[in-house]
A and B are shown apart, each in its own frame.
Chain A
Amino acid sequence: MVKSNGQAGLSANDVDVRHTAAPRKAWNAFATPAIGKGVRALSRLLKHGGSAFPGRIVEQVDPGFLARTLAQLPLGVVLVSGTNGKTTTTRMVASMLRSLGLKVFTNPTGSNFTRGVVSALLTEVTMGGRLDADIAVLELDEAYAVHFVRQVRPRYALLLNVMRDQLDRFGEIDNTARLLSHVAETTTGTVVLNREDPRIARLAGVVPDGTGVYYFGLSDDLRSFFPTDDDMHRTDVVDGGQPTGERKAGNALPADVALTRVGDHHADFLMDGATFSTDVHLEGVYNLFNAAAALAVVRAVVADAADAMPNIHPTDDDLIAAVAEVTPAFGRGESIDVNGTNVELLLVKNPMGFRLALTSFDPAGHDTMIVINDEYADGRDMSWLWDVDFTGLRGTGVGMVSGVRAWDMALRLGYDDVAVDDVNPDIDAAVDAFLAKDAGRPKRIYCTYTSMLKVRAHLGRIADVADAGVGRE
């Protein structure tokens, strides 16, 4: 069901983030973990789907639970937000901090809203309400990030980018930037900003006195790989032209961590004047830039942790080693073996993400399938497909197009002069037909959010698919 913009019912204006509620204890707070855990167990037992359900109950009976529980953490909260890359980057930050020896609480993939965080906390806290962790790393959707900072002031904020995403949800991207400015305003320790995205870099202006600002960035020659939202539209997409990479923001600001070279599963990072080279498991060049973002915030945490935890003092080499260990998250290039055929799944949620995915993965040597749904979580409006350049698929064509909006996608490919072998809106049947054709040859499937859940569920019936912690919402 589509509602008007703002799934959280929030706009930049109706939130006064300066009145952050102090963690107040409800009279019945002692019982919250038990109630929450009970509801959770019960809802699992009754298969009352929804990982957020116990969170909803707890938000009602004990609204201070979130703030009170997170306030125990000696190193506070790292909040990660932005349009693209939240999930992977959150996973990287959590994984890196863990390999440095910290106990990390993080919200599971896909539950990037406050209620999801509450639900996840419920499984972790003891019956006495204690959370056994040093730090929390939380991914929050832009609108929910505002909701969250009203209750909990993060010690660290990592703000990645502002891109045209589901504009029907948040309105215009300038408004999305305003949502994130509330996060920057309430962060107590360090705000880490993408200096290459002018709307993000500008947020340095609202960071309160006493809170530090770090930037992550790109070397000059890499900028054309990572167009900002404005760059993407500067060159008309219809021309299939590459953005110029001219950038007004950026260069003048010092980057704490800069990505300086990208290769196949390889990256160079510049930190304090020294270059660090490493192999990575991550797929796609954009995840290397996310790694620079993760490095920057981890460096900020590590600098502070030296006081709180004297036994933890990693070097930059340790941090780079931690980057090398990170594995891709759900739908970010995960590979599934289906009876001997390698099937790669890529989640596409917005024009920039789709564009970056298409430029990161060479279609040659693979059969390509695209699955487009228009459920609420995908975005109802198909306009976004017209902001993606598909001309890179002309050489290979697309083997199968599926999903509720399969015909919209086929039409889009048609106008980019891309061959389409088959169109079948029924996802299960389309996956079967796609895999059956030329079995053994590697396959790549681009999916929107809800279609990814369907594709994974179907593949799970015929192959071994890891539980990525999603699919229950």
Chain B
Amino acid sequence: MTNETTERRVIDVVSLYPNDMNIYGDSGNVLTIRRRLALYGYEPVIHHYNQGDDWPEHVDMILGGGGQDSGQSKIIDDFFTRADLLRELAADGVPMLMICGMYQLFGEYFETSEGKRLDGIGVIGAYTVGQDVRMIGNLVEHSNDFGDVIGYENHSGQTFLREGVAPLGHVNAEGRGNNGEDHTEGARVNNVIGTYMHGSLLPKNPKISDFLIAKAAERRYGAFEPQVTDTAKAELDRLEHFAVEARRVAASRPR
């Protein structure tokens, strides 16, 4: 046993609109953060924030997922009432992961193929245009910060990043990623990550999980200081082994 303390080190994680924005297994991201926080000796508190709920007093990390059109329309009014707050938290360095539908809503706007424009909250300098072709399939992207990111994209919107906005990574082939044209995928603004990657993303990409956790801990406690028991170490090793193998196989599968 190393460093066991009785001090509580809470990390407050908001799962954003889990009732309506939860498609394609994105709840796996919340589970991954919760387990890893606990294994690192933190006490995860997950707040399931749905429209109309009170905003938690303390927020160290925010996780959002994809949704159907009907899900997006259900949350949109509430989302706009939280827009200023979310922009402030993002500017203040709160780590956030926004997948698919929430990635689009964190951009500037979404224009449907019929020309109807829906506003986003503009945390990420990006806009999305609807198209009829769906980009769908296994995907590997290359990221400077996180190495290869492995996942499964499934979206019809084409997202274009404004000049100066960094993508999460780059894809080799045409017809995939943000818009199928410029070989970018996702976006990274401050500690906010937007991406189309499902899979779930975090279990197979522990580097991104640990980045979010480290940023949350640094912001709240000044530093990320894992306190890992021997049992927790063994469990982290087991998860690492499974993730390495799962990544290898996923990268070899047909689209």
Contact = CB atoms under 8 A, between A and B. Distances in A.
B35 A415 contact: yes
Contacts of B1: none
Contacts of A226: none
A410 B69 contact: no
Nearest to B253: A374
Contacts of A28: none
A164 B25 CA distance: 10
Contacts of B235: 414, 417
B24 A167 contact: yes
B203 A412 contact: yes
B19 A234 contact: yes
A164 B24 CA distance: 9
A358 to B, nearest CB: 16
A405 B249 contact: yes
B68 interface: yes
A419 to B, nearest CB: 9
Contacts of B68: 172-174
Interface in B46-78: 46, 48, 68-70
B152 interface: yes
Q: Please tell me the size bucket of the interface on A.
A: 35 or more
A172 B28 contact: no
A171 B149 CA distance: 24
A408 interface: yes
A386 interface: yes
B204 to A, nearest CB: 7
Contact of A414 (B18, B69, B238, B250): B238
A425 interface: yes
A380 B254 CA distance: 8
B34 interface: yes
A11 to B, nearest CB: 10
B191 interface: no
Nearest to B254: A2
A404 B249 contact: yes
A383 B28 contact: yes
A144 B152 CA distance: 26
B195 interface: no
A438 interface: no
Contact of B25 (A239, A386, A411): A386
Contacts of B24: 167, 381, 383-384
Given A2-B254, A4-B134, A412-B203, A238 B238 contact: no
A184 B135 CA distance: 31
Interface stretch (B163-171, B211-219, B240-248): B240-248
Interface in A371-403: 374, 380-387
A73 interface: no
A168 B25 CA distance: 13
B250 A408 contact: yes
Contacts of A387: 25, 27
Interface string B13-33: 001001100111111101110
B249 A386 contact: no
A316 interface: no
B250 A415 contact: no
Contact of A237 (B27, B32, B138, B203): B27
- Interface on chain A toward B: helix, strand, loop, or mixed SS? helix
B69 A5 contact: no
B134 A5 contact: yes
Given A411-B242, A411-B243, A383 B152 contact: yes
A410 to B, nearest CB: 5
Interface in A392-450: 404-408, 410-412, 414-417, 423, 425
Interface string A355-366: 000000000000
A83 B140 CA distance: 30
B159 interface: no
A172 B25 contact: no
Interface in B218-243: 235, 238-239, 242-243
A318 interface: no
B198 A383 contact: yes
B8 interface: no
A102 to B, nearest CB: 41
Given A4-B133, A386-B27, A415-B35, A407 B152 contact: no
B253 A380 contact: yes
Given A172-B68, A174-B69, A407 B246 contact: yes
25 contacts: A2-B137, A4-B134, A174-B70, A236-B30, A236-B46, A236-B48, A238-B31, A380-B253, A381-B24, A381-B198, A382-B25, A382-B250, A383-B24, A383-B26, A384-B25, A386-B26, A386-B203, A387-B25, A404-B253, A406-B249, A410-B246, A411-B243, A414-B238, A417-B35, A423-B245
Interface of A: 1-2, 4-5, 164, 167-168, 171-174, 230, 233-234, 236-239, 351, 374, 380-387, 404-408, 410-412, 414-417, 423, 425
Given A230-B19, A238-B31, A412-B28, 16 more contacts: A2-B254, A172-B68, A236-B15, A236-B18, A381-B24, A382-B152, A382-B250, A383-B198, A384-B24, A385-B25, A407-B249, A408-B249, A411-B203, A412-B203, A415-B28, A423-B242
The 6 closest A-B pairs by CB, nearest first: A386-B28, A386-B25, A383-B25, A407-B245, A238-B31, A407-B246
